């Protein structure tokens, strides 16, 4: 077997065509390389990989943005007495602010040291303290849902004189989002709308809902919207 010190090997390692060929073959085979082999190739050993990963996570935590909230409170640090003075993007900026306000806030150097080390001053009628937390990270955007076909939205559900489609719910002045509404739910919504409308109008079993009658129509729309809301169908969010 050739060693890395062999003259042929050394010459070949300087051959651009050979290097390109090796790169292409590596790309072709990379999916079949195990994680263990990748660890050994990239880090030399698992010990090195674990150490570097630990340092990487520490660095990521250090660099994660935080907000520092400076408060004024009473002598006992009661939460009910806490008054927010200002938010800061770093501890250093907050300490610099306190140094500039040192005279106004009647702070001594020992007060500042106490504050920096213990997050608060002590033994004063009026104390200062701070809280810190990581800023919220926006969640990843949800993938877009595949569109439904026209038949899904145009399908009409009927009960008595009541007829309703998802398309109608989507076309209201304050439209509902019917993407996840099943046929069974639509059937139940129409049934409840019919029954509640008839009950309010005291129509009995035989008299039909008269949609040419303004009062009948108004009550039907009210009961329909109530039924849709009861079934948890969401309105579209305002943009």
The model's pTM: 0.44
Residue 239 pLDDT grade (very low, low, confident, very high; cuts 50, 70, 90): low
Residue 112 pLDDT grade (very low, low, confident, very high; cuts 50, 70, 90): very high
Residues 176-196: pLDDT tens digits? 999 999 999 999 999 999 999
Q: Is the pLDDT of residue 140 over 70?
A: no
Q: How far is the C-alpha of 200 from the C-alpha of 219, rounded, in Å?
A: 8
Beta bridge partners of 129: 71, 120
For residue 185, the enclosing domain spans 150-230
Query: Of 83, 103, 134, which residue is a domain's last?
Result: 134
Q: How far is the C-alpha of 119 from the C-alpha of 94, rounded, in Å?
A: 11
Q: How far is the C-alpha of 69 from the C-alpha of 91, rounded, in Å?
A: 10
Structure tokens at 198: 């008839």
In this structure, the answer to whether residues 86 and 49 fall within a common structural domain is: no
Decide if 239 is inside a domain.
no
Residue 219 pLDDT grade (very low, low, confident, very high; cuts 50, 70, 90): very high
The lowest-confidence range among 134-143, 149-158, 165-174 is 134-143
Q: How far is the C-alpha of 199 from the C-alpha of 146, rounded, in Å?
A: 40
In this structure, the answer to whether residues 110 and 162 fall within a common structural domain is: no
Identify the pLDDT of residue 65.
83
Identify the pLDDT of residue 64.
81
Average pLDDT, the chain: 89
In this structure, the answer to whether residues 103 and 128 fall within a common structural domain is: yes
Residues 12-68: pLDDT tens digits? 888 899 889 988 988 888 888 888 988 888 899 989 999 999 998 888 877 788 899
Query: Of 91, 110, 134, which residue is a domain's last?
Result: 134
Decide if 145 is inside a domain.
no
Burial of 124 (0-12, 13-18, 19+ CB in 10 A): middle
In this structure, the answer to whether residues 22 and 77 fall within a common structural domain is: no
Q: How far is the C-alpha of 102 from the C-alpha of 98, rounded, in Å?
A: 6
Identify the pLDDT of residue 106.
92
Tell me which of 112 and 238 has the higher pLDDT: 112
Residue 96 pLDDT grade (very low, low, confident, very high; cuts 50, 70, 90): very high
In this structure, the answer to whether residues 83 and 39 fall within a common structural domain is: no
Residues 6+ apart with CB under 8 A from 75: 123, 124, 125, 126, 127
Residues 20-31: pLDDT tens digits? 998 898 888 888
Helix axes 35-43, 46-63, angle to 10 degrees: 80
Q: How far is the C-alpha of 225 from the C-alpha of 189, rounded, in Å?
A: 9
Coil, strand, or helix at residue 85?
strand
Q: How far is the C-alpha of 194 from the C-alpha of 175, rounded, in Å?
A: 21
B/e letters for 87-122, b = 16+ CB within 10 Å, e = fewer, are ebeeeeebbeebeeeeeebebeeebbebbeeeebbe
Decide if 174 is inside a domain.
yes
Q: How far is the C-alpha of 231 from the C-alpha of 193, rounded, in Å?
A: 12
Identify the pLDDT of residue 190.
96
Query: Of 40, 61, 82, which residue is a domain's last?
Result: 61
Identify the pLDDT of residue 86.
93
Decide if 100 is inside a domain.
yes
* Domains in the chain, number: 3
Burial of 60 (0-12, 13-18, 19+ CB in 10 A): exposed
Q: Is the pLDDT of residue 141 over 80?
A: no
Tell me which of 235 and 78 has the higher pLDDT: 235
Coil, strand, or helix at residue 3?
coil
């Amino acid at each position: 077997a050739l060693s890395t010190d062999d003259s042929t090997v050394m010459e070949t390692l300087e051959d651009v065509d050979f290097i390109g060929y090796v790169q292409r073959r590596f790309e072709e085979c990379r999916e079949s390389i195990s994680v263990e082999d990748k660890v050994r190739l990239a880090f030399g050993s698992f010990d090195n990989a674990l150490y570097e990963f630990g340092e990487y996570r520490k660095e990521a935590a250090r660099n994660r943005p935080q907000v520092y909230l400076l408060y004024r409170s009473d002598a006992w640090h009661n939460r009910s007495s806490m008054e927010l003075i200002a938010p800061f993007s770093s501890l250093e900026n907050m300490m610099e602010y306190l140094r500039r306000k040192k005279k106004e806030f009647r702070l001594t150097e020992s007060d500042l040291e106490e504050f920096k080390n213990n997050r608060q001053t002590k033994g004063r009628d009026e104390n200062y303290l701070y809280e810190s937390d990581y800023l919220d990270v926006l969640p990843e955007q949800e993938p877009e849902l595949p569109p439904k076909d026209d038949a899904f939205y145009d399908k009409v559900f009927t009960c008595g004189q009541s007829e309703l489609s998802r398309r109608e719910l989507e076309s209201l002045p304050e439209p509902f989002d019917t993407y996840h509404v099943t046929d069974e739910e639509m059937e139940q919504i129409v049934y409840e709308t019919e029954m509640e409308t008839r009950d309010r109008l005291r129509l009995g079993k035989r008299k039909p809902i008269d949609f040419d009658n303004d009062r009948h129509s108004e009550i039907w729309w009210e009961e329909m919207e109530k039924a849709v809301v009861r079934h948890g169908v969401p309105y579209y969010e305002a943009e």
